[in-house]
Chains A and B, each alone.
Chain A
Amino acid sequence: MAMTATADHARADPHHIGVVIEHPGPAPKRIVTAYGFWIFLLSDIVMFSCFFAAYAVLVGQTAGGPKGAEIFEQRNVAIETVCLLLSSFTCGMASIAADVRNRFWFYLGMSVTCVLGLIFLAIEFREFANLVARGYGPSRSAFLTTFFSLVGCHGLHVSAGILWLLTMMAQVFAKGFRADILRRMMCFALFWHALDIIWVAIFSVVYLLGSAP
């Protein structure tokens, strides 16, 4: 098989890429895990964007039911927002505590995060229950359908996040700050902060824009 000519050609970099920085090889586990989780978060944001799009399309379709301005209570939304933003701060503190392997501050940070998350969920639940009781449930109009779905989808994410948070605390309690648990903690923190970003969008698009008469 006379293939040496072609082979030399192939080895000689036929496309003349010239000087290239050699790829150093597979990335360490910590990088790979965080990177993969970022990709997951991006996909999650794509999913939310569909619900945002649906909300934008159907926001005017009130079918004789209430408009946003008639049902949103800004005071509640303000408290919810403060809770969630503060919880991001305490979650950050817990991450730092995990990095320096300080159990006390880790538990404290996670507990406060959990409590703030629960307050957020309680307020949201009360808001939803209140609306349903007044006959403004999601079946009332297409606008209310998308409102409940978008905000509720975020609420479900926060609930899942709290379940994850409690699992993380139990893991640290049982196993200590092992490398794999620190990687998970990093993913949890990314998740929790991403929920904050989505809430900022919900706050602006749904509650702020919707409160305008």
Chain B
Amino acid sequence: MLGKLDWSAIPFDQPIPLVAGAVVLVAILAVLIWVVVKGHLPYLWREWITSVDHKRIGVMYILLASVMLLRGGSDAIMMRIQQAVAYQSQGYLPPEHYNQIFSAHGTIMIFFVAMPFVIGLMNLIVPLQLGVRDVAFPTLNSVGFWLTATGALLVNISLVVGEFARTGWLAFPPLSELSYSPGVGVDYYAWSLQISGVGTLLAGINLVTTVLKLRTKGMNYLRMPMFCWTTLASNLLIVAAFPILTATLAMLLLDRYLGFHFFTNEAGGNVMMFMNLIWAWGHPEVYILVLPAFGIFSEVVSTFSGKALFGYRSMVLATMAICVISFMVWLHHFFTMGAGPDVNAIFGIASMIIAVPTGVKIYNWLFTMYGGRIRFATPMLWAVGFMVTFIIGGLTGVLVAVPPADFMLHNSMFLVAHFHNVIIGGVLFGAFAGFEYWFPKAFGFRLDERWGKAAFWFTFLGFYVTFMPLYIVGMLGMTRRMQHYDVAAWRPWMIVAAVGMAVLTIGVICQIMQLVVSIRNREALRDRTGDPWDGRSLEWATSSPPPVFNFAFHPDVRGEDAYWAMKAHARQQSFEHEVPEYQDIEMPRNSPTGFVCAFFATIMGFALIWHIWWMVILGGIGAFATFVVFAWRDHDEYVIPAEEVARIDRVNLEERRSLVSMAGAV
């Protein structure tokens, strides 16, 4: 009846996951009860859950990422403590639990923190920067988000029902095959990634089509803000790379469920094929994450230096070069596995070449700052912190790209330090910069600068204290994923790293405090102009938060930095003689399709993990029925009448006029 599921799936003998699960459950229930009692449920359903507005979906993506960041961060804290205490002892985490934690940490941080964070920011901002009213496929966008949430939900369910993979975040066979991992851990891993992977692919298709086909009048390719370019590159990579992940995990699942022989040791299966396939996705994946961050830094550095981005065209070229070369370096993840000197040399050289366009970008940012009127607001602090940190991470990356050096450093803590250096210093700093920079746009009030700066400094210092020691223990020969160790020389460094983790945690607390304090002081921090940073691109040309239709008129773009030019123009001639004639606007209707799809996907995923076949069929029928019901609807758009558009837009124009005249007076 319930397949492999019975009471033994709940880890009654392990207090840590049980207590953690109970706390999360209580928190979720408390929030639900609060929402229902306060009567917010209809509002949430109408305005958020069923919303197909790209801005709302973007915010929900970022919320999901933030919550999962706390989960992945808790895993990180547990690992750092374990390695600090597990010298010549077992520490406090038994091996099978420790293995689940490092696997879950990697999986969550990449798939359910970094990915939704950058996809959320792209969703929120790109249509605004392009001067259009929505993404290409609004309902699909909602489906994509909810499928990502489904994957995150399944990973969290594994905390209390069953177990998570103990295989590391990429589940290499033969360890992940049925004979060595007979439990449901790998199945949780694979199905949650399959489901959220479909969501990511939908987001990728959507954003590529949006950038290529939906741009406002005059928004030629070489006038797009840098963030739109990096979004394009990143989503092209999603479209080209995520199907590889889907295929690879499908093969692994076929091995596990139906006794196929893709990656087994028996009957001619080939383990190295898994390594090649997974990294053919995995290396582009790191650029999927970091390219949008590069775009964010370009916007931030240019805005807070008060200058147009230096070397815009070389930046575009560097972005697209990274997009292509990122597919030609995957083998550097397994130099040690016997491909031979010629192949290793080629991939080593390619890995060094890809550092060149990244270097171009760094110089462009530096030259943008050079001679600029720099304001060190919180987003700019993250950007500068990124440049310093990312260069160190990039240099250690070039070091491990040298095959002979890699033979010494492969799978050591040095490698762990390297990729945290680029992912935290690149992607996470970028996500935080974007969060601080665009928060006023999304909600209409600024974030508190004091707490923001405190969050930056604690995170920045905490990062160095945590990860520089890991470089050193890596040099001292410590391999990654060790549950305990007996080498005295490593011990002090592991303790320093644990202290660093505490500093990082203070940074996270500051971040949360910043949000709380800012929400409480929102009237004082209110931004009525829609342009709190003196911005340059079109997202600042509309009010904060933008109306559901973003722009009353499609803006007419005449050059780079479109809004900057408009402001300059207005300062000379004022808005006065522009008497716009408002028209009705058609917008897509809200739809519960995404949420319902995700509901059935959750049921199907859970049933597949536990081999409950009738439930799989039920979920499949439900998903198809949802699809048909959606296809059958007659009205997919509603009209906002011209008077309403005029009313909303006039308020915005008033505020803007006063801003321009004030600036002119100064």
Contacts and interface: CB of A to CB of B under 8 A. Distances in A.
A146 B262 contact: yes
B269 A142 contact: yes
Chain A, interface SS category: helix
Interface stretch (B89-97, B441-449, B628-636, B647-655): B628-636
Given A10-B308, A22-B217, A138-B254, 9 more contacts: A15-B312, A25-B218, A25-B554, A42-B239, A50-B247, A63-B267, A138-B259, A138-B260, A139-B261
12 contacts: A3-B568, A11-B558, A12-B559, A22-B217, A25-B215, A43-B205, A50-B248, A50-B251, A57-B270, A61-B268, A142-B269, A163-B624
A201 to B, nearest CB: 15
B374 interface: no
A51 interface: yes
B362 interface: no
A167 B627 CA distance: 10
Contacts of A46: 239-241, 243-244
B239 A141 contact: no
Listed residue (B243, B277, B312, B565) with the most chain A CB atoms within 10 angstroms of its CB: B243
B244 A17 contact: no
B205 A40 contact: yes
Interface string A32-50: 1001100110111011001
Nearest to A20: B220
Interface stretch (B206-214, B432-440, B485-493): B206-214
Contacts of B244: 46-47, 50
Contacts of B313: 15
B568 A141 contact: no
A10 B560 contact: yes
B214 A26 contact: yes
B218 A27 contact: no
Contact of A4 (B239, B243, B571, B666): B571
A133 interface: no
Given A32-B136, A141-B261, A184-B631, A8 B568 contact: yes
Contact of B214 (A7, A32, A58, A167): A32
Given A1-B666, A15-B312, A23-B217, A142 B569 contact: no
A35 B213 contact: yes
A31 B537 CA distance: 27
Nearest to A26: B214
B369 interface: no
B185 interface: no
B308 A145 contact: no
A141 B262 CA distance: 9
A23 B215 contact: yes
Interface of B: 132, 136-137, 201, 204-206, 208-209, 212-222, 239-244, 246-248, 251, 254, 258-262, 264, 266-270, 273, 277, 306-308, 312-313, 534, 536, 554, 557-561, 564-565, 567-569, 571, 624, 628, 631-632, 634, 636, 663, 666
A27 B243 contact: no
Nearest to A37: B205
B248 A36 contact: no
A44 B213 contact: no
Contacts of A61: 261, 267-270
Interface of A: 1, 3-4, 6-15, 17, 20-27, 31-32, 35-36, 39-40, 42-44, 46-47, 50-51, 53-54, 57-58, 61-63, 138-143, 145-146, 148-149, 163, 167, 171, 174-175, 180, 184
B560 A14 contact: yes
Contacts of A51: 247
A149 B268 contact: no
Nearest to B313: A15
Given A35-B213, A39-B209, A47-B243, A7 B568 contact: yes
A1 B567 CA distance: 12
B218 A141 contact: no
B649 to A, nearest CB: 19
Contact of A39 (B205, B254, B559, B632): B205
5 closest A-B pairs (Cβ-Cβ)? Answer: A61-B268, A7-B568, A142-B268, A50-B247, A47-B243
Given A15-B313, A43-B239, A51-B247, A10 B559 contact: yes
A21 B584 CA distance: 29
A58 B392 CA distance: 41
Contacts of A184: 631
Given A26-B214, A50-B248, A44 B243 contact: yes
Nearest to A44: B243
Given A36-B136, A141-B261, A22 B561 contact: no
A8 B267 CA distance: 71
A51 to B, nearest CB: 6
Contacts of A10: 308, 536, 559-561, 564-565, 568
